[in-house]
Amino acid sequence: MSSQRVPIEPQRVDAPLTASATFLVLKVNRTPDSVKTVRSTLAGLDSLAKNVAIRDLSSRFACTVGIGSDIWDDLTGLPRPAELHNFREIKGAKHTAVSTPGDILFHIRSERRDICFEFERQLLDQLAGATTVVDETVGFRYFDVRDLLGFVDGTANPVGPAVPDSVLIAEEDTAAQGGSYIVVQKYTHALSAWKSLSTEQQEKIIGRTKWDNVELDDAESGQKSHKTLNTIEDEQGNEHDILRDNMPFGSPGSGEFGTYFIGYTRRLWVIEKMLERMFIGDPPGLHDQILDFSTPLTGTTFFAPSSSLLASLE
């Protein structure tokens, strides 16, 4: 990624959408040796990525790492990114965005499942004894970039120069320049209940048509769609996008159907505002109806520092 306003090499937060992804959330064991092991693993992540990526350069391998608020000081010893804090639980009248622990996130992407697997295997070998796995979710791309609710997911993502503008911290926080905040939530869907709705009812909830992905106006009742609740403007009327790379996951055999939400942003407050509008509603009480069919099991915030900062950790 290149941006004239961010002279620092960012991590590949804008890596292309791939057929496979692994979301790995770890807790760092609180001993000096463990922290040291994690620090040197993160500093050497580029070499580890090269080891695996070279085996099939066409597989579009990318790994982005995020660091949580609780471990930031011990792990990096560097100034804190201005907005970095733990995910704050949001309690709506009916649904809650839970906050769950996690020190490090690895967002591992490739066209090939075996490449994701191999990278994670080598990574966890290096981290042996220093970390505990909090969550490991394996996502897959589903037909036309659809989620398991059947809708095309990711359409409104920024493209071109709008990507660094929405995703990378620039001059507003020099210590964090070239970095990005990441919020993840692992949702499971009540798929049979969702399927009992008509296509028209589903489309109203999402705010787009299902087959051809065309934007719809909101109902006159005042109930806003998922798309509208997630359209955020600041006080000057500027709209702020985020970059999402959500992935379906699950297992029909065990009745699990989910969406792993991942959002990258230059401004953490933008994603927090989206969550507030989804869970509390706008106006309050009129929450996002996607939540009547989707429950977040996790909610964790990270900061993805620039790759130069990562490399300098050792």
**In the complex, which residues of this chain contact ligand HEM (CB under 6 A)?**
147, 149, 151-156, 185, 187, 206, 208, 226-227, 230-231, 242, 259, 261, 263, 271, 274-275, 290, 294
* 115 close to 121: Cβ distance less than 8 angstroms: no
Q: Which residue do the tokens 């905040």 mark?
A: 181
Cβ at position 228, least distance to ligand HEM in Å: 8
Nearer CB in complex with ligand HEM: 83/153: 153
Cβ at position 24, least distance to ligand HEM in Å: 19
Q: Which amino acid is at 127?
A: L
Residue 313: CB atoms within 10 Å? 19
Nearer CB in complex with ligand HEM: 7/154: 154
Cβ at position 201, least distance to ligand HEM in Å: 15
Cβ at position 27, least distance to ligand HEM in Å: 23
Alpha helices in 128-246 (DSSP H): 162-167, 191-195, 199-206, 226-229
Nearer CB in complex with ligand HEM: 45/280: 280
Burial 164-203 (b: 16+ CB within 10 A, else e): bbbbbbbeebeebbbbbbbbbbbbbbebeebeebeeeebb
* 88 close to 185: Cβ distance less than 8 angstroms: no
Q: Is there a catalytic annotation at residue 70?
A: no
Bridge partners (DSSP) of residue 67 are: 104, 303
* 183 close to 265: Cβ distance less than 8 angstroms: yes
Q: Which residue do the tokens 């092991």 mark?
A: 37
Cβ at position 157, least distance to ligand HEM in Å: 7
Two tokens, residue 171:
């001059």
- Cα 116 from chain centroid (whole Å): 17
Cβ at position 41, least distance to ligand HEM in Å: 29
Nearer CB in complex with ligand HEM: 127/268: 268
Residue 16: Cβ-neighbour burial (10 angstroms; 0-12, 13-18, 19+): exposed
Element (H, E) at 138: strand 131-140
Nearer CB in complex with ligand HEM: 179/207: 207
Residue 65: CB atoms within 10 Å? 22
Given the residues 153, 241, 245, 288, the one annotated as active site: 153
Nearer CB in complex with ligand HEM: 15/247: 247
Indicate which residues carry an active-site annotation.
153
